[in-house]
Amino acid sequence: MKVQIGYDAHRLENIIFPGKIEVELVKICLVKDQRPFFSIIIPTLNEELFLPRLLEDLIKQSFRDFEVIVIDGQSTDRTIKEAKRFNSKLPLLKIFQSPKRGLACQRNFGGGKAAGKYLLFFDADGKVDPSFLKKLNKTLVKKPYGIFSAWMKPDSNKLVDNILVSIANLITLFTTLIKKPRFCGAFTGCSQQAFIGAKGFNETIVMNEDYDFSCRCAQLGFKCKFYLIPKSYFSFRRFRREGYLAPIAKYTWAGLLFTFKGTNYHFGLEYKMGGTNYKQNKQGWKK
């Protein structure tokens, strides 16, 4: 007599059958999903100083089911060499050179290489607390969302930085409640399905490609969430370098154009990517 028994290879260790029974054990494809839970995508351009700080934060994460994808925009400094130093500390670290330079196209390139269930987009000058991924995983397992971001904290202790971030948080919360989320590119997350459904970031936009992406995901029916916990960090290095007036005016103008003129209207806007101009500007960093 031949009996076929299907079993989960992860749980079955020994089976003893009485009598003269020939047993053919047939494995059922109940193999554990090998995809990482998170794919962390970091676009870089001359970020030899700032990228290592973010990678060090990722090493310290208590939740370990993630891969890191660095998409470099043809840096002229040691960004790639600095990233490669973390190969042994971050086993699922992947480093690529993007054929095109720009936040949107580098994020899209990284999204195309991602294997995770959720894609997390960070700026290279970002910072994360050790429990960030653990808390985010817990909330997403409990209730999945297609597009999400997190309440921001400034990377300094300055009062003006805290005030500006608080205003930005309230605006983001309001736009999320009306299902027109404006999530900041410093940290935006989405499911694989949302990224594919929205066809990634719009590479023709000078600014607001992050707002545009999150809004399009919501318009496609993906649930949006602005988490109060965990919290993300916003870097004020551009403000410290250029002064506060110019960036505030630029972001305000960009937001108004996005609201009243639409996605592709970007008169008078320019957004330079890269860490070259900030290498000597570390004042105010939270350690």
Residues 169-181: tens digit of each pLDDT:
999 999 999 999 9
Which pLDDT does position 47 carry in this prediction?
96
Count how many domains the chain has.
Answer: 2
Q: CA 206, 195, 32: angle at the middle one, nearest 5?
A: 150
Domain membership of residue 283 (yes or no) is no
In this structure, the strands spanning 118-122 and 187-191 are antiparallel
Domain match, 14 and 92 both: no
Which pLDDT does position 4 carry in this prediction?
38
Which pLDDT does position 270 carry in this prediction?
63
> What is the pLDDT confidence band of residue 113, given thresholds at 50, 70 and 90?
very high
Domain match, 154 and 14 both: no
Please write the tens of the pLDDT for every residue from 244-278: 888 888 888 777 777 776 665 555 566 666 666 66
Domain match, 47 and 166 both: yes
Domain membership of residue 281 (yes or no) is no
Which pLDDT does position 159 carry in this prediction?
96
Domain match, 23 and 58 both: no
Percent of the chain whose predicted confidence (pLDDT) is above 90:
68
Domain match, 205 and 98 both: yes
Domain that holds residue 149: 38-275
CA dist 285 and 287 (Å) reads: 6
CA dist 158 and 32 (Å) reads: 47
Determine the average pLDDT of the residues in 127-140: 97
Cα-Cα end-to-end distance for the chain: 69
Mean pLDDT taken over the chain: 84
Domain match, 137 and 7 both: no
Q: Report the sign of the C-alpha dihedral through residues 99, 103, 104, 106, in that order.
A: positive
Which pLDDT does position 226 carry in this prediction?
97
Domain membership of residue 287 (yes or no) is no
pTM: 0.82
Q: Of 29-38, 74-83, 232-241, 264-273, which has the strongest mean pLDDT? A: 74-83
CA dist 201 and 188 (Å) reads: 12
